[in-house]
Amino acid sequence: MWKEVSEARYDEALGVLSPAIWLGKGFLMGEPHHHGLCTVTNKIRPTYAAFIQAFGRYYEGDPMTILSRIFFREIQSPLHGRLLFCAKR
């Protein structure tokens, strides 16, 4: 689930630590949030707070694994419908 956040929140998350991964318009915060099931490998992996920027707005998502972020194709936003933002396989 993605929720809109302020630019200040996005910048704070980006500035606290170097991102674990930064692709396109989004990044995973540099320190693991906890461990959870990876949607790609079905194995327990570290998860990271997720952030994206699209159409001049900023969003924070549920924690995800690095592989989930790489293979993640789109998000559903109540404001904009589908937002395509991430890397191709």
In the predicted structure, residue 66 carries a pLDDT above the cut 70: yes
User: What's the confidence (pLDDT) of residue 77?
Assistant: 42
| Cα dist from 2 to 12, 49, 62, 80, whole Å | 17, 11, 7, 12
User: Rounded to the nearest 5°, which phi and psi values hold at 12?
Assistant: -60, -50
Task: Kindly list the domain boundaries of the chain, sorted by start residue.
Answer: 2-36+47-84
Which amino acid is residue 42, in one-letter code? Answer: N
Mean pLDDT within 33-52: 84
Q: What average pLDDT does the structure give for the chain?
A: 77
Query: Which pTM was predicted?
Result: 0.71
Mean pLDDT within 66-85: 51
Mean pLDDT within 17-31: 85
Look at strands 21-23 and 74-77 and give their pairing.
unpaired
The b-or-e profile of 43-66 (16+ CB within 10 A means b, else e) is eebbbbbbbbbbeebbbbbebbbb
